[in-house]
Amino acid sequence: MTPTPRLTVDGLSVRFRLRTATVHAVTDLSLTVHSGELLAVVGESGCGKSVLAHALLGLLPGNASVTGRAVLDGDTDLFAGGRRHLGRRVGLIPQSPTTALNPVRSGRSLLEETLRAHGRPRTDADAVATAAGFDPGDLDRYPHELSGGMAQRLTTALALAPDPPLLIADEPTTGLDRPLVDHTLDLLRARCDAGNAVILITHDLTAAHRVADTVAVMYASRIVEHQPAEALFAAPVHPYTAGLLDALPDRAFRAIPGHPPMLTALPSGCAFAPRCARATDACTTLPALTGPARCHHPLVDRAAVA
C-alpha cells in the first residue's frame, strides 16, 4: 500500500533581514514525510535544521521572511493561515527545554493543562510522564528545580500528550544519559511504527542511523543529500555526507577540514566546494538535486542509486 504523505514541503526558503545583511537560513528546501516515516535531518550546527522546524510551526521572529509551501495532510497549507489547529496535529520537542517551560507553573500544572486542552483527562498525566521517561514524582517541581535532562523529558511528555500525527523533535536527546537517549529514540520509533510521522532534527548520526527510515543532510541552508537511511550510511553519495560519517568515532574519526560559509555570504556555486577534495571548476555553478544528492561529482554513480 502506498504510504500517505503527512507533510509536503515545496521550495521553502527562509531569510532573516538584518540591518547590514540578509541571513539565508533555508534555501529552496523540498521534502515529503509520510505516515509511518521517521525522517532525520542532520548536519553541522548552523546549517538551518532548527530554522526549518520553527518555520513549519510559525515560531520565527518578526524579521523573517518565508516563501514556498508546506502542506499538512494534503489539505492545510501552513504558510497560508493553516496553523489555527496546528497544536492538535503537530507536536514539538524544543531544542532548549528550559526556556520553553513556563517558570511559574509546575510540571504537573503544565501537563494537566495540555491534556485538558486536547480532550484527555488530567489523570493521564502520570502515565504520559512515565512514557517519556519522566518520574511522575517530579511533576510537582517547577522548571528551575529540574536538571537539563529532566526538563528535556518534561517537554517530551508535553509534546506527546496531544498524540499528534506529526511530531518534530529538535535535538530531543540533549542532556540525557545513554539509557534515556535510547528510551527517547525508541519512543519516537514506536510512534512511527504506530502510523504517525516524526521529523528528528539531530547532530547525532548514530541516533539517526538507529531509528530513521530516511535521512536528509543539510549544508549551508540546503539539502545536499536525501535518501533511505540504510543506503546513506552504507554508501553516501555527497562528499559532505561522507565527511560527516568519517568523523564518527567508529569510522575514521577524522574531522572535515575547513568551515561552512557564512549564511550572509553564500557562494553562487556549490557551498561545500572550498572544503571538498573533489571540487573542480564545474563546482562554481550550483548543482541540481538530481537523484539522492546535489553534487557535480557524486561518490556513487547516480544511475546505481536512482
pLDDT at position 268, please? Answer: 95
φ, ψ of residue 226 in degrees (nearest 5): -155, 110
pLDDT at position 303, please? Answer: 47
Report, as an integer, the average pLDDT of 28-43. 97
The Cα 221–Cα 244 span in angstroms is 16
Asked whether residue 118 carries a pLDDT value surpassing 80, the answer given is yes
CATH code linked to domain 5-89+164-305:
3.40.50.300
Lowest average pLDDT, out of 80-94, 103-117, 119-133, 214-228, goes to: 80-94
Residue with cell 513556563: 102
pLDDT digits (tens, 9 = 90+) for 69-96: 999 999 889 888 766 657 678 999 999 8
pTM: 0.94
Burial 87-117 (b: 16+ CB within 10 A, else e): eebbbbbbbebbebbeeeebbbbbbbbbbee
The Cα 98–Cα 222 span in angstroms is 29
- Work out the angle at residue 223's Cα, subtended by the Cα atoms of residues 85 and 15, and round it to the nearest 5 degrees: 60
The Cα 267–Cα 273 span in angstroms is 10
pLDDT at position 161, please? Answer: 94
Residues listed for the chain: 306
Lowest average pLDDT, out of 101-105, 113-117, 160-164, 302-306, goes to: 302-306
The identity of residue 125, as a single letter, is A
pLDDT at position 3, please? Answer: 81
Report helix, strand or coil for 118: coil
